[in-house]
Structure 1
């Protein structure tokens, strides 16, 4: 069988999805937004598979990510019921995108284990735990979403990948102070809301690309000076912190607020 591309997305398909029944020459498989169920046995996926998207189905059980095909570039399986302890020690070397958001996976994330080609990861809304070291992210990284887990520890934002555009770490248990003076120049979106951050923040020398900042629901304090904030920032959310000293704002920001 020579079938290489299959797209059955956005139907009302039901039944059990079995990796071993997929065409062996398949390179791209899209089946998101159906009612498919079953447990995905990664080692039985087609050996030449490059892209798979099974978002928004009823896939359950654990997935051995270390058995994914070596040819794989994209793995997307958000909004399912994938569970169990996961390890990412031997992900495919060419992997660029992994989305497993809104599932029930557990375990810790050793970012040193991410392949050097990885660009886009989302593990939002799972039960991941432990400390993460952002300074060892692959240099290719563009988007990181680890929001709504149980990650802990201090955050270092001073050695992030130069090409990083979106960093979402909200709704975890990160603590300590943060240094925003050396953010990547390409960063557009920064979200660290609803953690345990403390100390003061400096909004000087922000990247010119930065448009959206959310540091709400933390324990940040001290003097809040918006006088020299980049005019490119269009959304700044600092609700529910402990700032007490006088807020200084430019006349331009005042005008935007009215």
Structure 2
């Protein structure tokens, strides 16, 4: 299936209809053509990262989604208004901005203050963030993890030098899967305050030190990966381990 469509720098003309785009599309580039008429941007695919229709002859008023997804400069007859965020969406954005800080701003990200590279790894459901996947190739610099969006269910943040303590009591309460391997996290690791729904927790190849307790893990935990840290001692009792726990990797 086509994910990226680039028809820029041609002489295509006519109107544009974005009402029935395929969900798999992530980029559409139509800049420097002769498209005209009005455009409706209300039904873009949820996975859309970039819609570039700059330097055409579009007219009317377009309501663009928040952020820097839609690039519409150079259409002299077009007025662009940014869709207002609902309070719940605003809070999601505040969380993201506090995680990322000011080092990741895109010049065009005037509404969300979060660059496109960071949003590329974010999964939404019903206008809230439920998944984040960032790796070493993602161009983000994180301030910490205490402001992860509270609606988050899956977090795979690996190979990014966060260099911070991990306050497990501040992790999102709906979190079911967390992979924070190779993030240079340090300090002690308190496992007794992990989210109650957490099934897999990967924190391998960090710098956690001291003692850890396996006495009050989430009852649904299946896998715990603590490899390649600096843990001194482990306290546990067989009768206190979750019944569904299959593996503890030390």
Normalised by the length of structure 2, the TM-score is: 0.58
Q: Is the 8 A contact 1:130 1:152 kept in 2?
A: no
* Correspondence for 1:255: none
Of 222, 228, 234, which residue of structure 2 is paired with 1:211? 222
Paired residue for 2:208? Answer: 197
Whether 1:87 and 2:88 are equivalent positions in the alignment is: no
User: Which residue in the other structure is 1:80 paired with?
Assistant: none
Q: 1:53 to 1:67 in 2, by over 3 A?
A: closer
Which residue of 2 is the match for residue 24 of structure 1? 18
Q: Which has the larger radius of gyration?
A: 2
Question: What do residues 190-239 of structure 1 show as CA deviations (whole Å, max 9, x unaligned)?
Answer: 0111011111110011111111111101111124435332232112111x
Aligned to 1:256: none
Give the distance between the partners of 1:219 and 1:68, measured in 2 at CA: 43
- 1:147 is aligned to 158
Quote how far apart the aligned CAs of 1:169 are.
0.5
User: Match for 1:8 among 2, 26, 29?
Assistant: 2
Q: Give the 5 Å matches for 1:44-193.
A: 47-48=41-42, 49-52=44-47, 66-68=67-69, 86-87=104-105, 90-91=111-112, 99-100=120-121, 117-126=128-137, 128-134=140-146, 136-193=147-204
* In structure 1, distance between residues paired with 2:182 and 2:120: 18
Within 2, Cα distance between the matches of 1:179 and 1:52? 36
Does the aligned pair in 2 maintain the 1:129–1:152 contact within 8 Å?
A: no
Q: Is the 8 A contact 1:27 1:46 kept in 2?
A: no
For 1:176 and 1:222, how far apart are their aligned partners in 2?
Answer: 14
- 1:95-153 Cα distance to aligned partner (Å, 9 max, x none): xx95539xxxxxxxxxxxxx98211111123354343132x322211111111212211
SS of match in other structure, 1:230:
coil
Report Cα offsets for 1:38-75 as digits up to 9, x if no partner: 9899xxx9722132268xxxxxxxxxx9313678x9xx
Q: 1:223 to 1:214 in 2, by over 3 A?
A: closer
Separation of aligned partners in 2, 1:17 and 1:236: 51
For structure 2, the residue ranges without an aligned partner over 5 or more in a row are 32-38, 50-65, 71-81, 84-88, 90-102
Q: Is the 8 A contact 1:169 1:192 kept in 2?
A: yes
CA distance in 2, matches of 1:99, 1:211: 29
SS in 1 for 2:196: coil
1:201 partner SS: strand
Could you tell me whether the CA contact under 8 Å between 2:198 and 2:220 is conserved in 1?
A: yes
Q: Distance in 1 between matches of 2:154 and 2:29?
A: 28
Counterpart CA distance in 1 for 2:112 and 2:164 is 25
Distance 1:216 1:46 in 2: 51
Is the 2:104–2:141 contact (alpha carbons within 8 Å) kept by the matching residues of 1? no
1:189: how far off? 1.0
